[in-house]
Structure 1
Amino acid sequence: MTQEDLLLQLLQRLNEPLARYADLDRYYTGKQPLAFLSPEAKVALGNRFGIMSSNIPRLTVTALAERLRITGFSGDAGLWADWIHNDLDQTSGVAHREALLLGDSYVIVWARNGRPLVTVESAKQVSVLTDPGTRQIVAAVKRWEEKPANVTHAVLYLPDRIVRLKADQVGTVTATGFNTVNEIANPLGVVPVVNLRNSDQIIGDFGTSEIDDLKPLVDALNKSLADMMVTSEYVGRPRRWATGIELTEEPVLDDNGDPILDEADQPVMREVNPIPEGHRAMISENDQAKFGQLQAADLSGYEASVRVLLGQIMAVSTLPAHYVGVFSDNPASADALRAAEASLTARAEARQQTFGRAWEQVARLMIAVRDGRDPAQTGDIRVQWADAATRSVAQEADAVVKLFQAGLLPASYALSKLGYSDDEIAKINAA
């Protein structure tokens, strides 16, 4: 396959999911349009309730991402310093959120001044091709636009070389529009791009989003909330009525405040309520006048609908009740909260295993860049994660100390269980 054919295939793969990514972004930001709404209701409501949205998708993504915190690596004592140097203690969380939302995110490893340079990349700018047999990445491309200069840049990553490309227009989607700027050798021998894929399946072109299954449920929830607000606006307040009162008339005015005249040059009049809405007292000189009040609408049906939908959302997303605002009369104990979060914790631990392999590949590339070694000969590197369960520092310390005192854990492992990195453990032992 020629370089032009390879680039075309990568660009097509990059463009294919962009519409899906835009739809997922709308749900993540709470800007998706209202669904399950009849055309007549859309005309009647206009844009008054178009922004009504309960942003459960963002909560689902962040609730998982905040439990995916890398605390260190085993197998190389100096790796954590390079990790911190590249701000990956902060940007790794961005990679997790992107992968959980869009299904994929990427990490590119290269070198700068003899040290590893690691950047977190969006699936909107990076795509890869994998070998069907080994499932290893054989080619990758990163494309971005420089709109003030009306230029599109691209970098083609191959096992033996890195090719920088440029097109003199924005929005270039074909390989023929790019020209080679420069080309350098790739001493690593592998494509320095790692894919963080959120998927429960081995084979697939793209990862899956955590909010794919939530979208119809969130649409239904937003529809119920919008209906409740409309009902509250129109019939939620008791409406007053009166009989035996003569309506008053007032002229219809134009934009300049002048009366509008009919064909006979007479002011066009309209009937208005003689008792304005803001008046607290209703007075009539007619002794036959009667006043009353209609019964207000009962909104409890909407509450039942919202509870049913929240129950389905909790079942699909594994979010506990106290995350989505469903509270009981009595505050739950710490043990009850941990039990309620058990499903969310289990899903977070599964995502740790899913993303852990990718971060170990990143670590091997970082060591290869730092030491000038073959990435396959960097040794056994394992990523260390913070506990995905909700535990207080006192509870965690108490459990670890008891295991240490019983002789079941050595001091170094006990410190790692408490969340200390390899460098911190070394300093503690030295002290």
Structure 2
Amino acid sequence: MLTELLQKLDAPAGRFAQLDRYYAGRQPMAFLSPESREDLGDRMTRMAVNIPRLAVTSLTERLRVIGFSKDGSPASEVWADWIGNDMDQLSVVAHREALTLGSSYVIVWADEAGNPTVSVESARQVAVVRDPGTRRITAAVKRWETDKTTEAVLYGPDEIIHYRADHTGGVTGSQFHVAETIPNPLGMVPVVALRNSDRLLDDGVSEMEDLLPLVDALNKVLADMMVSSEYYARPRRWATGLELEEDEEGNAINPIPNSNRAMISESPDTKFGQLPAADLSSYESSVRVLTSQIMAVSGLPSHYLPTLTSNPPNADSMRAAEASLSARASARCAQFGRAWEDVARLMVAIRTGQDPENVDVRIEWADTTTRSVAQEADATVKLYQAGLLPASEALARLGYSDDEIEAIRTARRAEALDNAGTDLQGLLS
């Protein structure tokens, strides 16, 4: 099992390296002929418009966990453990990793005091095996290197085995020896996978996958425009009737340096002129076509890629333009929500000793749409005043977390007691 998992962990390394380059905007130039590459030399080593990162971050910023509930009521103990493990911040990292590489992982265990600990892991270090019937994780491995050793932890439903190899790099399963074995009282593998996929049988697809050829084409057009601006956009001047000088090898020397703004000749037959500058506007149409295709594939609105529009949109048009992106974010909430609920079940099981299969926890997400704060507050206040919403639900609709709602309720109770005390003091006097 260890060997199988390590092989599965190493298999996508090349694909991950490519995705990392595109996410960082350091991918090599594509669609460039060998002749053009030789002519450019080292003058055009990189041209990258980092739209892949924009596609990932635009979705990530809309995926925000705001609470958990049990039996229809806020699960304050789950939220306390969530905040205690900094998951309000690290969950964003998990989403970004899953959208970039196709998957990310979360490991849930207990510290020395028995409190649940949660760590976000990269697909570069963690691999899992699933039951083909139930699609549940049956085993998982995490591998990392220190200065002198290679460590691997094999997670199973009954026990957790820590392996160690006494060297780094190129380590196979047979080179590990058992360093420690720990029983697993949870009865399930404490590793949860966040898969970015709407298919059943794949391990997750990067959000950037469909954008790579389009981004390569856009970068190629922009590189051509830069070359044209260097060689042809600046008008080239010419002169006839000048006596040319030759160097020692017989090559003609231009008697008029490019830095000279004025040209003088004693010969009456000398003529001067300049060629028309290259029209770079033709590149704009190519950029607009490629940008529109990128928008169609990624769901990015036009004001995220302002090549197609020059006027800033108003609030209503922004919401309409972001409808596709908001729908994609809602779909990602549904995909990642089950994984986060499994994380919450494991935290409750570690805290209380319950069977995680018997824990019922539901996740709550922030609204993925872009709304005006004033309009949202006005609509919520009207629902509250009509008696259709309690105060806690109204605050939740406005985006407040369970902790913030509880703090507001405590502050309002304190103010009510202060006001009541003031009134009593006035009666006594």
Structure 1 length-normalised TM: 0.91
Counterpart code for 1:230: V
2:39 to 27, 40, 44: 44
Let me know the Cα RMSD of the aligned residues.
Answer: 1.4
- Contact 1:128/1:137 (CA < 8 Å) preserved in 2? yes
The corresponding residue for 1:156 is: 154
The corresponding residue for 1:240 is: 237
1:65 aligns with 2:60: yes
Aligned-residue offset at 1:268: 4.9
Name the CA distance, whole Å, in 2 between partners of 1:384 and 1:210: 23
Name the CA distance, whole Å, in 1 between partners of 2:253 and 2:365: 69
The corresponding residue for 2:79 is: 80
Partner SS, residue 213 of structure 1: helix
- Report Cα offsets for 1:316-369 as digits up to 9, x if no partner: 000011101235343321100110011000000110111011000001111111
Name the CA distance, whole Å, in 1 between partners of 2:106 and 2:309: 43
1:387 aligns with 2:367: yes
The corresponding residue for 2:335 is: 354
Aligned-residue offset at 1:270: 4.4
Aligned-residue offset at 1:425: 2.4
- Report Cα offsets for 1:10-45 as digits up to 9, x if no partner: 111111111111111111111111111111111111
1:329–1:125 Cα change, 3 Å = closer
The corresponding residue for 1:93 is: 92
Partner SS, residue 118 of structure 1: strand
The corresponding residue for 1:279 is: 260
The corresponding residue for 1:306 is: 287
Name the CA distance, whole Å, in 2 between partners of 1:25 and 1:329: 32
- Contact 2:2/2:154 (CA < 8 Å) preserved in 1? yes
The corresponding residue for 2:140 is: 140
- Contact 2:303/2:312 (CA < 8 Å) preserved in 1? no
Deviates more, 1:311-320 or 1:328-337: 328-337
Write out aligned runs for 1:180-199 (5 A).
180-199=178-197
1:363 aligns with 2:328: no
1:424 to 369, 384, 404: 404
1:182–1:329 Cα change, 3 Å = closer
Name the CA distance, whole Å, in 2 between partners of 1:47 and 1:369: 57
- Contact 2:150/2:171 (CA < 8 Å) preserved in 1? no
1:389–1:223 Cα change, 3 Å = same
Write out aligned runs for 1:317-336 (5 A).
317-326=298-307, 328-336=309-317
The corresponding residue for 1:403 is: 383
Partner SS, residue 210 of structure 2: coil
Deviates more, 1:417-426 or 1:25-34: 417-426
Name the CA distance, whole Å, in 2 between partners of 1:54 and 1:131: 41
1:315 aligns with 2:292: no
- Report Cα offsets for 1:198-255 as digits up to 9, x if no partner: 0011122x201111111110010000000000011000110000011112345xxxxx
Q: Extract unaligned runs of 5+ from structure 1.
A: 1-5, 251-266
Counterpart code for 1:325: P
Counterpart code for 1:213: D
- Report Cα offsets for 1:267-318 as digits up to 9, x if no partner: 6564321111011101111111100000111111111000000000000000
Counterpart code for 1:201: R
Partner SS, residue 209 of structure 2: coil
The corresponding residue for 1:372 is: 353
- Contact 1:11/1:173 (CA < 8 Å) preserved in 2? no
Deviates more, 1:346-355 or 1:45-54: 45-54
Aligned-residue offset at 1:394: 1.9
Write out aligned runs for 1:159-178 (5 A).
159-178=157-176
The corresponding residue for 1:292 is: 273
- Contact 2:303/2:313 (CA < 8 Å) preserved in 1? no
Partner SS, residue 328 of structure 1: coil
Name the CA distance, whole Å, in 1 between partners of 2:262 and 2:241: 16
- Contact 2:221/2:287 (CA < 8 Å) preserved in 1? yes
- The number of residues matched between the two structures is 406
Aligned-residue offset at 1:392: 3.0
The corresponding residue for 1:105 is: 104
1:8 aligns with 2:3: yes
The corresponding residue for 1:264 is: none
- Contact 2:165/2:171 (CA < 8 Å) preserved in 1? no
Counterpart code for 2:402: D
Name the CA distance, whole Å, in 1 between partners of 2:25 and 2:185: 45
Partner SS, residue 396 of structure 1: helix
Name the CA distance, whole Å, in 1 between partners of 2:170 and 2:114: 34
Partner SS, residue 140 of structure 2: strand
- Contact 2:6/2:141 (CA < 8 Å) preserved in 1? yes
Name the CA distance, whole Å, in 2 between partners of 1:275 and 1:402: 78
Aligned-residue offset at 1:169: 2.0
The corresponding residue for 1:127 is: 127
- Contact 2:137/2:189 (CA < 8 Å) preserved in 1? yes
- Contact 1:241/1:294 (CA < 8 Å) preserved in 2? yes
2:13 to 18, 21, 24: 18
- Contact 2:288/2:308 (CA < 8 Å) preserved in 1? no
- Report Cα offsets for 1:55-113 as digits up to 9, x if no partner: 11000000000100111111221111211111111111111011001110000001112
Q: Percent identity?
A: 63
Counterpart code for 1:370: R
The corresponding residue for 2:219 is: 222
Name the CA distance, whole Å, in 2 between partners of 1:327 and 1:215: 20
